[in-house]
Amino acid sequence: QVQLVQSGGGSVQAGGSLRLSCAASEGTISSYTMGWFRQGPGKEREFVGHERWSTGATYYADFVKGRFTISRDNAKNTVYLQMNSLKPEDTAVYYCAASPYAIPGARYYNYWGQGTQVTVSS
């Protein structure tokens, strides 16, 4: 069981970069697949990417592949989402989550951060 606290959201110009952090204030992330999801205005929550706890391998949705990178620092109990070449379409509330599986769907994630707003202006 883990408790996740997010930070690093904000506003950025199109083409800019932003890094989100997700730290476990209780428990450890080392044995969980850590995923990132987002929900834009008027849209359903969608999968962004994840990093497998068992192998460290990452998997990304097509719309962010090549622009976003997930990494983790187990010593700091923190996972990161580095977002580059941001587009207005990336504007959303971003959530981190922990899962015992390596499946993209939100239904497979047991623990969630509080969410953080990312706004990309043109």
pLDDT along the chain (122 residues), means of 10: 94 98 93 96 95 90 95 93 98 97 93 97 95
Instruction: Please calculate the CA angle 122-46-32 and round it to the nearest 5 degrees.
Output: 120
Q: What was the pLDDT predicted at 64?
A: 93
Q: What was the pLDDT predicted at 113?
A: 97
Sorted by sequence, the CB contacts under 8 Å of residue 109 that are 6+ apart come out as: 35, 37, 97, 98, 99
Of 1, 5, 32, give the one whose Cα is nearest residue 21: 5
Q: What was the pLDDT predicted at 56?
A: 87
Of 80, 104, 97, 96, give the one whose Cα is nearest residue 17: 80
Q: What was the pLDDT predicted at 48?
A: 97
Asked whether 36 and 81 are in contact (CB, 8 A), the reply is: yes
